[in-house]
């Protein structure tokens, strides 16, 4: 398999602050990474596609100015939740594939709690 | 729209084979069937995938019907650690994210 790592595993922040979540592919390079969000007792929902060296592509209904994505290298994508509010509290998960169209490997997820 | 249908939950006795069905009657010719599982509060884990032929790896077997309208994931000797939500997903093999349905909550009973 392949290893995708997220940091931090959990974070608590105050309302109005920003939080950055990192997603790294540890043993392969990924030109594309994906960010998902999962609310309690619900399934994963794709938020955006992170493309190395270019702008991210956001799913309908996801605010690009609130969820900033940067994919500056072939092994790192970051998701910044800006001006976080309690309704942004969720489980954020990233994934990457060794090659486009092959199986995806997921990070362990980041539990964000906004108080 | 997940485009696959799975039972909401299933029970299986420890040590027995767990057979998880999935219906994907509108699957396209170029779409693969992928299976992932998610243990509580963790990221999903890849299990297996296939196009037409049955597949087997160290984790599971995947049986795809000849018309490709349904498939079954088989965990040959279920353990308590196999308790998880199992997702059956269609994917065209492009550089797109995955569409997750609600999956099947498999509970392995001691």
Which string of b and e fits B59-81 if b means at least 16 CB within 10 Å? ebbbbbeeebebbbbbbeebeee
Say if residue A29 is exposed, middle or buried (CB neighbours under 10 Å; 0-12, 13-18, 19+).
exposed
Q: Tell me how far apart the alpha carbons of residues B6 and B101 are, in angstroms, rounded to a whole number.
A: 8
Say what the pLDDT of residue A98 is: 85
Q: Do B46 and A1 touch (CB under 8 A)?
A: yes
How does pLDDT run along chain B (110 residues), one tens digit per residue?
A: 668 999 999 999 999 999 999 999 999 988 999 999 999 989 999 999 999 999 999 999 999 999 999 999 999 999 999 999 999 999 886 678 899 999 999 999 99
Q: Which of B30, B99, B102 is nearest to B68 (CA)?
A: B30
What are the beta bridge partners of residue A33?
A50, A96
Distance (Å, rounded) from C-alpha B46 to C-alpha B62? Answer: 13
Q: What is the pLDDT of residue B106?
A: 98
Q: Does A45 touch chain B (CB under 8 A)?
A: yes
Q: Does the pLDDT at position A57 exceed 70?
A: yes
Q: Which helix (H) or strand (E) holds B41?
A: none
Residues 6+ apart with CB under 8 A from A70: A50, A77, A78, A80
Beta strand pairing status for A19-25 and A32-38? unpaired
Rounded mean pLDDT, A1-14 = 94
Q: Work out the percent of chain A whose per-residue pLDDT is above 90.
A: 86
Q: What is the pLDDT of residue B1?
A: 64
Count of A–B CB contacts within 8 Å?
A: 61
CB contact under 8 A, B100 and A43: yes
pLDDT given for residue B75 in this prediction: 98
Average pLDDT, rounded, for chain A = 94
Q: Residue A2: which pLDDT band, with cuts at 50, 70 and 90? A: confident
CA–CA dist B33, B51 (Å, integer): 6
Both tokens of residue A59?
């799913």
- Chain B contact for A24 (CB, 8 A cutoff): no
Report chain B residues whose CB lies below 8 A from the CB of A6: 43
Predicted local distance difference test score (pLDDT) of residue A74: 92
CB contact (8 A) between residue A95 and residue B95:
no
What is the DSSP-derived secondary structure letter of residue B5? Answer: B
Question: What is the average per-residue pLDDT within A101-106?
Answer: 89
* A99 → chain B, closest CA residue: B95
Q: Give dist(CA A98, CA A25) in Å, integer.
A: 9
B70: phi then psi, degrees, rounded to nearest 5? -155, 165
């Amino acid at each position: 398999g392949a290893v995708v790592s997220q940091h931090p595993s959990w974070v608590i922040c105050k309302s109005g602050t920003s939080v950055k979540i990192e997603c790294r592919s540890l043993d392969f390079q990924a030109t594309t990474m994906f960010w998902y969000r999962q609310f309690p007792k619900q399934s994963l929902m794709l938020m955006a596609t992170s493309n190395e060296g270019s702008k991210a592509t956001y799913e309908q209904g996801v605010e690009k100015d609130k969820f900033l994505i940067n994919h500056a290298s072939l092994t790192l994508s970051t998701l910044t939740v800006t001006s976080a509010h309690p309704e942004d509290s969720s489980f954020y998960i990233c994934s990457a594939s060794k090659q486009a169209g092959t199986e995806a490997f997921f990070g362990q997820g980041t539990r964000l709690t906004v108080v | 729209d997940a485009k696959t249908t799975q039972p909401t939950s299933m029970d299986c006795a420890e040590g027995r084979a767990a057979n998880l069905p999935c219906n994907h009657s509108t699957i396209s010719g170029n779409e693969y069937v992928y299976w992932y599982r998610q243990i509580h509060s963790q990221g999903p884990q890849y299990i297996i995938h296939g196009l037409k032929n049955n597949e087997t790896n160290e984790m599971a077997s995947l049986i795809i019907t000849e018309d490709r309208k349904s498939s079954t994931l088989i965990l040959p000797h279920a353990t308590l650690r196999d308790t998880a939500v199992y997702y059956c997903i269609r994917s065209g093999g492009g550089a797109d994210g995955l569409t997750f349905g609600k999956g099947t909550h498999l509970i392995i009973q001691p």
